[in-house]
Amino acid sequence: MKLQKILSNFQKLHPKEIDLSLDRIKTLCKKLGNPQDKIKAISVVGTNGKNSTINAIFSILKEADYKCNIYTSPHILKINERFVFNNEQLSDHELAELFEEVESINDNKAITFFEILSACYFYKAAQYPDNINLIEAGLFFRFDATNILKENLASVITSISKDHLDWLPKDEQTVEKIVFEKTSTLLNSNIIIAKQNSKKTIDCIKKTILQNPSNKVFFNDHFSYSINENDFFYYEDKLGGLKLPMPNVLGQFQLENISTAIATLRTLDLNLKDEHIKKGIRKISSLARLQEIKSGKFKDLVKNNLLLLDGSHNEDGARVLNEYLQTLDCRKHVILGMMANKDHEKYISYFKDISSLTTVDIPNQPNAISGKKLKEKFKNFPNVQYKESIHQAIKSIPLKESDLLIITGSLYLGGEFLNLN
């Protein structure tokens, strides 16, 4: 297939998957006419909640008839998910044409996979100068390929916690260092800071962006939300309060992401009406982020039992996932697959009152830990077992009426699940 062949060529342009530097992306973008200087963008940095916050912003903007371009990573099912223009994903043909053009201009110069994808995005985005671009940072941000804009509409800082520590020296694997990498080079515009998981993290952010002259909008200080009724939640900022319907996505952490999205859009004064927000938050798309699976062959296997899919893979993700699970009065069964570089023990330590744990392999992911090795790490966990595949795992679990089954631990596992379902 043409698209896959081009992607394979992209992966061969640099010996490393990641090589933190801005030199190569800047060189290529200069050849492309510096398209990143011709777009209006909202940059989203952080550890957790980036994709969900972008999805919420996008859903609200669509209701207000704005056109958006979106760049996110990683993809769950198809690489097309990373390339949204005029509110629609590019087709395979359109993507192949874009990649071929940029590949030709790059002329086989060394560049990482993510860098050339980012250059492709900027090149295409410049063709829609009036659109609002929603851009998710990749690894950290300081030397991330998305960090080459000269100006933007706003920067959003979602929840920051420890992740991707293998890219930092041992003595720098701290919250302070991660905050610095993600926030020290934010542009002078508007900075919206989402709810953080600790005062220490908030203090680190405030210290790091202290000299940045941007307009700063902090959760709690400048915007907040509360839940007072089952079917509604309340959002409040300097413009006043909004009584909003519960969104179509699960988990209180999604209310945090949605509140951050609303704060961002109201800060930018985009002439949004309350109705745009109310309708938008009921139509949010969210693949593998506490997603309820309502159909497919795996749903057929579990019948009337609740089936959830969540790609959380770090400590903070496990915490917010389990805050949601603790609100459910039922037996809970977990199917877990993870990448090798994650803190497996810390992740699973957040799971309370779990009836069974089944570890699985993540196919076609050489950087994943095998399900067998994962099981060995949790041998003191009650009712732990290993099964090679998701299908075998689901069939092996003796679900009773009203039991819940959740597949979690990796976005790559989430993609595998959705592809097979």
Q: What secondary structure does DSSP assign to 305-341, as a single string?
A: SEEEEE---SHHHHHHHHHHHTTS-S-EEEEE--BTT
Residue 171 has pLDDT above 80, yes or no: no
Question: Where are the domains positioned within the chain?
Answer: 2-280, 291-420
- Best CATH choice for the domain 291-420 from the list 3.90.190.20, 3.30.1340.10, 3.40.50.300, 3.90.180.10: 3.90.190.20
Residue 397 has pLDDT above 80, yes or no: yes
Q: Token pair 């930018």 is at which residue?
A: 268
CA dihedral 310, 403, 294, 296 (to 10 degrees): 90
Tens of pLDDT, residue by residue over 281-306, are 999 998 999 999 999 999 999 999 99
AA letter at 14: H
Q: What is the pTM of this model?
A: 0.95
The per-residue pLDDT for 165 is 61
Tens of pLDDT, residue by residue over 239-260, are 999 999 999 999 999 999 999 9
Residue 230 has pLDDT above 80, yes or no: no
Q: Token pair 């309370």 is at which residue?
A: 352
Tens of pLDDT, residue by residue over 49-99, are 999 999 999 999 999 999 999 999 999 999 999 999 999 999 999 999 999
Integer Cα distance of 386 and 376 in angstroms: 9
Length of the chain equals: 421
> pLDDT grade, residue 163 (50/70/90)?
low
Instruction: Decide: 288 and 414 in contact? Cβ < 8 Å.
Output: yes
Q: Which of 95, 119, 90, 93 is nearest to 107 (CA)?
A: 119
Q: Which residues contact 76 (CB under 8 A, 6 or more apart)?
A: 287, 288, 311, 411, 414, 415, 418
The alpha carbon of residue 152 and the mean position of all alpha carbons in its chain are separated, in whole angstroms, by 20
The per-residue pLDDT for 187 is 98
Instruction: Decide: 113 and 14 in contact? Cβ < 8 Å.
Output: yes
Tens of pLDDT, residue by residue over 370-384, are 999 999 999 888 899
The per-residue pLDDT for 375 is 96
Instruction: Decide: 107 and 28 in contact? Cβ < 8 Å.
Output: no
Percentage of residues of the chain with pLDDT beyond 90: 89
Instruction: Decide: 149 and 36 in contact? Cβ < 8 Å.
Output: yes
Domain 2-280: give its CATH code. 3.40.1190.10
- Identify the DSSP state of 231: T
Q: Which residues contact 186 (CB under 8 A, 6 or more apart)?
A: 43, 45, 141, 155, 157, 209, 212, 214
- Identify the DSSP state of 90: P
Instruction: Decide: 172 and 51 in contact? Cβ < 8 Å.
Output: no
Count the neighbouring beta carbons within 10 Å of the beta carbon of residue 206: 14
Residue 167 has pLDDT above 70, yes or no: no
Instruction: Decide: 315 and 165 in contact? Cβ < 8 Å.
Output: no
